[in-house]
Amino acid sequence: MKYVEKYKHYISLTVALLFYVYVTDPFHMLTEEVVGSYSLQSKRLAKTEALLNNATVISEELNKATVNKNAMEKFFFNAESEGQFKLQIQQRLDYLLRNSECNLDTLTWLDEKKNHGTNSSMES
C-alpha cells in the first residue's frame, strides 16, 4: 500500500498515456479520416450536380463535335496500310493527270531513306 501511495502520480500518468495511445489518438485519426472522406464525397457530389445541370449544354456540344467530325472525315484518308494509301493516291493522281492531258510516263514515290525522313514525295 505504501508503494501505491508513493507512486500514484506515476501510475496515473501511465494510465493517462495508455488511454491516449490506445483510445484517444486512434479515435482522433478515425475522425480526421471520416471528415476527409466526407469532404471528398461532397466535392464529388458538387461536380456531379454541375455536370447534370449542364447536361443539355454538354449534349449540344457533343452533337456539334459529331457533326464537325463527320464533316472533317472527307479530309482524312483512311487506308489499311501505307502501301494501300500510296496506291490509291497514285491512282487518283494518274487519273487527274490523264484527264488534264498531261503526258507523264511514270509516277513513283521517293525512297524514304533517301528523303531523310520526309513522309512521301513524288518524282516525275
Query: 93-113 pLDDT, tens per residue?
Result: 888 888 887 776 666 666 655
Question: At a CB cut-off of 8 Å and minimum separation 6, what does 118 contact?
Answer: 112
Those residues of the chain that have pLDDT short of 50 are 117-124
58 and 100 within one domain: no
Helix (H) or strand (E) holding 16: helix 8-19
The residues that bridge with 123 in the sheet, in sequence order, are 108
- How many structural domains comprise the chain? 2
18 and 57 within one domain: yes
Range of the domain at 94: 79-123
66 and 86 within one domain: no
- Is beta strand 122-123 parallel, antiparallel or unpaired with respect to 108-109? antiparallel
103 and 84 within one domain: yes
90 and 63 within one domain: no
28 and 62 within one domain: yes
The whole-number pLDDT of residue 114 equals: 59
CA dihedral 23, 25, 28, 30 (to 10 degrees): -80
pTM: 0.43
12 and 61 within one domain: yes
For residue 102, the one-letter residue type is C
56 and 29 within one domain: yes
